[in-house]
A and B are shown apart, each in its own frame.
Chain A
């Protein structure tokens, strides 16, 4: 079974530029998560989708971050414009649903460096 795919793996941009990340979850997984992991910290949830609907985006900085999950499968996360503090690893995860028994499977992440 293929895992969660993310691209690109690494991205370096200058502040005020735009960047987009792509995630392809495990086939059949209804729930998709985007996390931000700053160096030395645990992952922080940015947004959670259930199929193509947003369940929670309370921690997404909506003035510069946006995310979509068209057709309830792939998802993209965009930052526009980027700030220095956005340097982090962006992790995508998926699960069958939302319950205690629904394990979250993570992709390898995209490491973003903002100069």
Chain B
């Protein structure tokens, strides 16, 4: 079966750095998305990786290793508004999105 694993919840301090990991086992791979979802709202796009390596976009970076079935989202200079759930989603060989359960990130002052 297809599976995506993320930690359920993480806590970090304002101003610090946090890394949210995502491991996947899917039938084929055509890219990996990270989305941010605030409580009661729809997800918003953060990043898309299809090749190995690090993609940096401001305070957020996303890394992919296809051989290891592994990705992480790195958030720097954390702000209180970064408190949200972060969803990892993989595009499989049928171009279907397989969603992880999400990681709830709690930022403390």
The answer to whether A and B come from one shared complex is: no
